Structure 1
């Protein structure tokens, strides 16, 4: 004999619903409009994979049960779950990616009232794709807090509102000038490629001395033609130009968000007027600025 689900005791129903996958929950409420009244208050996290072909969302319940759903199902997800967190927003762009292509995604962010995101990823489907900042500004304006950001696409320039992230990784910064890197106000910044030389790195360090607030760690790979520690130590005089520094010995630094540990043999200590201290280290083409202590 089959017992109708509506006749089961509510504590039993609640446990059943909590163990169901998101897609099954959506199918359940589609059977009858009043079925949604049976659902307990549940939470879920959502990861959005947005691209021109078949974008989708990955929904994970508090019990760790997942369903991959078409992008258009987000309204149904809103009906099933009372609390929804945007875990990851991945945007894949191509040379055909236009600002209007973001309208559906903007509709999702606005409808779901997402104001924060644990991770924002911007990737390209192929090399040579250049993304205009206007194509992404509207999306980042919707998100007041971005905990971690990965930029794996060439951008003309960075939108000014990319500053709330705790950690920013720029995998392709070949089109960014030193002034664009200065726009980032994250706690930890990793720039894996750039067109910047030792003079540009010097200006970025001076910008932190004059204006830096939240920065705790900066790792910047200089352009291929720049070598800091070659046989003649060429480049160090430009990197340290017009800076008051003291040579220091070995040390250790651990990032909070990027998950890296740096052991260095020597460096150069600098100090701001407000008492904040930092150490500059370098190895071949990589320059690092470590904010060691606060006053």
Structure 2
């Protein structure tokens, strides 16, 4: 197996997925893809109609090759579950008998607990057209069924496997509301950065006569502060907003960026570098410089 495939192996083996007499190679491949999405790798096939290996299955697996390469074939379902200690049978039909019926959330937690304890577990899925026979369900310890619309309860086999694989993955998270990915860390903006942006916005609005009548300016500024302090901007967001304000403040359709260097922009740059280390070179007479 390639190094990439070894890296894709799940940290915990989880339940075996057992497909009973699957018909289409494409369905097997989509099952393998769903398993790989949620950390499962052991796929067992009982008498696949079109034989094995199946190139259509590999193509539909969308690079879940470690699942396809590890497929185990069995002549009958009894042999496929022989080494397992606990097995669920999936079905959407009411069954006579005494087996407990669980929902997928509870089933996922049970499988996680048993697998963590060292048990070998499995989930049986029936044929695309009519699922599992009663005598096949009888080989399972419990039944798992999905809360589907009773008027249209049939699921594609890959959809059913995906739902159970999802519950398996979710049951292993520290919190079931977590995800495997998270937002990259961001630095919240310091108050002086926020205040500087608001002051710049005030100056830009002043220059364009926004505060009218002037007696209402204090209240209008209070409203601006209330709006702009609520989001809790990050440093990066403040920089984006400062850039937008700068563009609107210093440039216009008549003097857009690249066409000139407005005096108000030059003055602002000088004030921002009062320590004397900053020197602005004058723009050439025939082509003004744009530092905005």
Structure number having the greater strand percentage: 1
Higher relative contact order (CA 8 A, sep 6+): 2
Return the TM-score normalized by structure 2.
Answer: 0.20
User: Quick check: which has more Rg, 1 or 2?
Assistant: 2
Structure number having the greater helix percentage: 2
